[in-house]
Structure 1
């Protein structure tokens, strides 16, 4: 490999830097030299190469604030770029690159460059540069036509408030406390020494990345202006009538949007994800390949697609894509059986560790209903207790009533540890499946706990002021979150129609009386006297 040529193109807007990325990629492809460009960027929303704009960003806010949305050449998740960050793009000839080793090699190189300046950093696979366990930057890859493109950022400073407004987080998170909570996850590089200059930091990084590449020399050159700005429109989101779903994988979250024709075949399909893969246009090729396919044709078509070309999916597989596609097709059956519009069935999440069950078979096997305490009103005396008076003033009472009518166990989950304990007890007791409620943010972040339980579940997305919206997830885990989430009552009613009544334990109405000791749905005695949030009977299951 030739020596590393590097330089600094200075401050530019998102489109100018995208044009420079493309020109740099072309120069490496044509001349064979590895090139490293440092730059700063005016405020820009940077989408990963394969991401969905509507899923990752808040486009309307970006438009009003004049923040351009640019789809970068590398994969991974969306970023907010501003002049306080050190940005860099590296292009390297690589005919047969493997993404995982390249990420580790370059990530370690960046950390070596920082360490040379007295900043102790470590690379956390697959993408993060960390200082003392806090994220200080990112690194993502892309590959196209024999050129590996690596793009990274390091936080010289960080505008957390604007970042949260640009990236797709619910509006309720945009509070002073939410900003403070988010800022605690990040770290910025310490200032350079008295005689330090930004060029010195760049030179140390260039030296370390050149060493990681194993090139014999490094040379700095002036960087030319872009020949022209590259303007590429991002794909428009499908209409609300389209089906959507997501699948959590080890490599990132896959997101799909599907429209079906009158025959039930693919009319349009969009695949996205904060993932890394090669070749660059793999999702686009797969979308075209599956056009007109029926659900039964998915496995052979996918097999033929991946057997006929070279490809690499970093920490996810064709089986994950098949799972995503099957869940998209399943949306149509959900909508027809439950008489719900696409927008409503899109809030139903299916967790099936073995990947063999559909929504209806899981509901048929459900033996318990798990309700998050944050869905109970803050004024309700049952908020931190198992049980419900079914007073009719919130949808949680409907969940308890519907479960009681079917002889199901009901548990109000008080905190994250209680969730793990409850799932463990259900599994030990031989429960085949369960129905739960949580926000999709919680599920995506804590999917490992659901997977560890080893039971399939149907989970209903909750809305309102949930803990992730407000940046108070740690309070929620501890059971001290005070705002309220909301269950979707109509969706809950429709879903529960497919949960059969269980023989055995009858659902009873217990008159409220002073001194009555309560038991939760797992048969454990709960301290305190029974009491409701309104007049009437206290309804619960006897053990």
Structure 2
């Protein structure tokens, strides 16, 4: 058996799905094939990504196409200076390998080829090749129907500004300093080896791959291709319930749409996770259909059947806990009369506390300075005179009426100090107002403190929507976000009832009990 391979060829982005399928078809016939392509400007979406969450579609517009690849992992911003390698082969010994082992094993020849260019690179889980902490390449994989598809994306040169504008991430401000910091996160090959011929790199990768597979390399012509339609964002109503969980393998989302009886009409898992089983998430989604949303956790547990999911860095308990979070959000939303349970989420470091337990235990309220009016002299200071002219003042009044500690977070370092103080005081839980983007990017601060929380999502212009995170962390953000003081008040009213019931009977009333996480979740 031999490894058929071909040199890099330019591709229209809409030809890439057919390029992948051509490789898979040959692998299904028992062949091993490796090809290289350089795509015109495009956004290459991961197999399980939601383009609305992954990309800045308002920026992309009609500038360039969005194309979905077959492998999982994060979305990418590509241009003709990016080399994309596609390897397909019969699964053989890779069929039963653990996901992280498979990624490392198939990345090894690519790593060897890069090191052969004089670059001291290393593989870093879950899917990166790096040098001195800077990303050189990303790798992705998928296996089904007896075939393994492995892809490596290697920037030869990189337009970091375009990348920041294209990907919908918690971005640094697009200033000269921000771009300089972002450029330090990447190491395009031409910046490391300016005179590196891409053809020589392809040949080196092919030789290393053939040697690792025990095959003889055979150069051939690339396949003939047709074009497919670009991947468009799905036009559907917002989910009735959403939940997300940050894992070592990436952020995984679960969105569900309900019928009037609270039965799940449709469910969808999305995220930049490296799920090697291309059908796993679809099977889990199907298992939830026609299920009561409050049973999502147990349903997912049965569907997984105790078998570890074929996802790098994601455990079965993570997926099951997502079902619990959806059920808990639905319960909170129903109790508060919300049409969609998307504004409130819970954070339990050990995943053991129910939503009601956390609500009844709230000892403090943390508010962001960006929700104070820009004209307010207290905007960048902790405290509030409650002048009656903004929602933050209402929030202060609600907290103080209950003798709760209330703090305006003025910068990121202040947040960490306040969280440490809450931990040292033995705070049972706090109510925090912040945007989801902030929590996802700075979740380690909350994890480090270990204090449970109920979060109320902030509205309006945030530093993430305006790409001014660095200014916000330093306390210099000048736009105004929005605190829903009415909803915050309803949460605190519920907190009072739960605390009173707990003080009287030791447990919350039956009508207030939300689903509790299963043991082991």
- Both structures adopt the same fold (TM-score exceeding 0.5): yes
Corresponding residue for residue 372 of structure 1 = 368
Which of 55, 77, 80 is the matching residue for 1:80?
Answer: 77
* 1:165-215 CA distance string (max 9 Å, x none): 33225899667776555444333222586875220122222233344x342
> What CA distance in whole angstroms lies between the structure 1 residues aligned with 2:380 and 2:308?
54
| 1:400 aligned partner | 396
The residue number in structure 2 matching 1:363 is: 359
Instruction: Name the structure 2 match of 1:15.
Output: 14
Q: 2:263 aligns with which of 262, 265, 279?
A: 265
Equivalent pair of 1:169/1:469 in contact (CA under 8 Å): no
More displaced stretch, 80-89 vs 304-313: 304-313
The match for 2:413 is 417
Q: Does the 8 A contact of 2:249 with 2:274 survive in 1?
A: yes
Partner of 2:43: 45
Gaps of 5+ in 2: 501-521
Deviation at 1:9, TM superposition (A): 4.8
Once the two structures are superposed, residues 373-397 of structure 1 have per-residue CA deviations (whole angstroms, 9 ceiling, x without a partner) of: 3333454333343211122333222
Are residues 187 and 380 of structure 1, via their aligned partners in 2, closer, same or farther at CA, if it must alter by over 3 Å? farther
Counterpart residue number, 1:186: 186
For 1:436 and 1:310, the matched residues in 2 are separated by 34
Map 1:453-532; keep pairs closer than 5 Å: 453-481=449-477, 483-500=479-496
RMSD of aligned residue pairs (Cα, Å) = 3.0
Q: Distance in 2 between matches of 1:117 and 1:359?
A: 54
Deviation at 1:100, TM superposition (A): 0.3
CA spacing shift, 1:240–1:177, aligned 2, 3 Å: farther
Cα displacement string for residues 121-142 of structure 1 (whole angstroms, at most 9, x for unaligned residues):
2322112222332223311111
1:163 is matched with 163
1:319 aligned residue (310, 317, 320): 317
Q: Is 2:121 the counterpart of 1:92?
A: no
Shift of 1:434: 0.4
Q: 8 Å contact 1:177–1:471 — kept in the other structure?
A: no
Alpha-carbon separation, structure 2, partners of 1:172 and 1:198: 31
Which residue of structure 1 aligns with residue 251 of structure 2? 253
For the 8 Å contact 2:269–2:285, the answer to whether it is kept is yes
Cα 1:190–1:358, aligned 2, differ >3 Å: closer, same or farther?
A: same
Q: In structure 2, what is the equivalent of residue 109 of structure 1?
A: 109
- 1: CA distance between counterparts of 2:404 and 2:7? 64
SS at match of 1:137: strand
User: Normalized against structure 2, the TM-score is what?
Assistant: 0.86
1:126-205 equivalences in 2 (<5 Å): 126-169=126-169, 182-190=182-190, 196-205=196-205
What secondary structure sits across from 2:350 in the alignment? coil
Equivalent position SS for 2:496: coil
- C-alpha deviations, 1:7-41, integer Å up to 9, x for none? 1251112221210111101101212x322111100
Per the alignment, residue 3 of structure 2 pairs with: 4
Contact 1:278 1:311 in 2 (8 A): no
Kept in 2, the 8 Å contact 1:10–1:38? The answer is: yes
Q: Output one character per residue of 1:232-279: Cα deviation in whole Å (capped at 9) or x when no partner.
A: 766725303632221112221111221112222111111112112242
Q: Structure 1 288/391 Cα, relative in aligned 2: closer, same or farther at 3 Å?
A: same
Flag the 1:497–1:202 CA change in 2: closer, same or farther, 3 A: same
CA change 1:109–1:414 in 2 (3 A) is farther
Contact 1:172–1:470 (CA<8 Å) still a contact in 2? no
SS in 2 for 1:186: coil
Pick closer, same or farther for the CA change 1:223–1:415 going to 2, 3 Å: same
Normalised by the length of structure 1, the TM-score is: 0.83
Distance in structure 2 (CA, Å) of the matches to 1:148 and 1:303? 27
Deviations 1:66-118 (A, max 9, x none): x2222211111111221111111111322323220122233343232222112
Equivalent residue of 1:50, what SS?
A: coil
Q: Show the counterpart of 2:510.
A: none
SS at match of 1:267: strand
Query: 8 Å contact 1:244–1:258 — kept in the other structure?
Result: yes
Partner of 1:69: 66
SS at match of 1:22: helix
